[in-house]
Structure 1
Amino acid sequence: MEENMERPENEDGELFEHHRVVASKGQVPLRVDKFLMNFIENATRNKIQQSAKDGHVWVNDQIVKSNYKVKAGDEVKVLFEHPPHEFLLVPEDIPLDIVYEDDVLLVVNKPAGMVVHPGHGNYSGTLINALIYHTDNLPSNSNERPGLVHRIDKDTSGLLVVAKTEAAMTHLAK
């Protein structure tokens, strides 16, 4: 393990867990870069090695190099200074078909083909990206999705109610 490497942090000093894997009891020693390739979709060995070089790969709460051998029971994490993309909400100027709006809620007509919230493979161009551009400080629901009381599938069009205050979120969720 690498000793005395500085812990990478953002301005707030917070790191965000992007991946976490605990090696199974039968795990034979395997380089951490090869180990992670089995668990991270679309990862290349080069990207994992660069992440390790940058201090983003941790085993048992210690920064490791890409040649570290993962053993049974090791807890392997990939940590970055930014949230995972599905939680990284960026306001985008996307036109909205707002049917009704007041101080506490709005009703938007979502077109078919528009994804409601960011998730794997859909990190931008979502209704949430448009809503946070349109309205400041939307309250988050239990899944950290601002304003959403409910959702509909990407290929479904229809009306969605969006809470603009904590009180509205609580009331509408009931």
Structure 2
Amino acid sequence: MSAEPDLASVAALAGHWAADTTACTATFQVRDKLVTTVRGSFPVTGGSAVVRPDGDIGGSWVELDVAGVATGNARRDRDLHKPTFLHLDDHPVVRVEIERAALASHGWTGGGVVRARGEQAPVDLTVVLLERRADEVRAKVTGKLDRRPLGIRVPSLVIGRFLDLDVELTLRRVDRQ
């Protein structure tokens, strides 16, 4: 988006949008053992966004499949399934929710929550519109997650406390508001 959002254009986005999960990606990165960065991804299994008539975003979410986590290291991926980390057996989905994001000069910013392993953690999220067509948009959602509120108690010397989140969504219009 430009430095100043086109309010008429943003108002045209008002409505309910559903994720095309075949065209979405969810990635993360976290520091590993003080010297390297681990990058990984999750399959996106669902998602929805609501743009209000005033241009704000609310009641939006994306779900990620824990079983499909991929870091390029099979052992690490199996470890992430264990109760110490994401606890796949009891909690097969990670859900990222945007409670409300206000229109800003570069997109939208607002508070959200990550729900994983039966816990939840607050996260500040930024949403940027990448591409817009009549009834389809591409958007990028980014945030920095503190894993501690999720109950992941691995020492920060082993795995960094903060994860960078990056979700690229293709959304199709369901209805207008």
Same fold (TM > 0.5): no
- Specify the structure having the higher radius of gyration (Cα): 1
TM-score (norm 1): 0.22
TM-score (norm 2): 0.21
Pick 1 or 2: higher relative contact order, CA cutoff 8 A, min separation 6: 2
More strand by share: 2
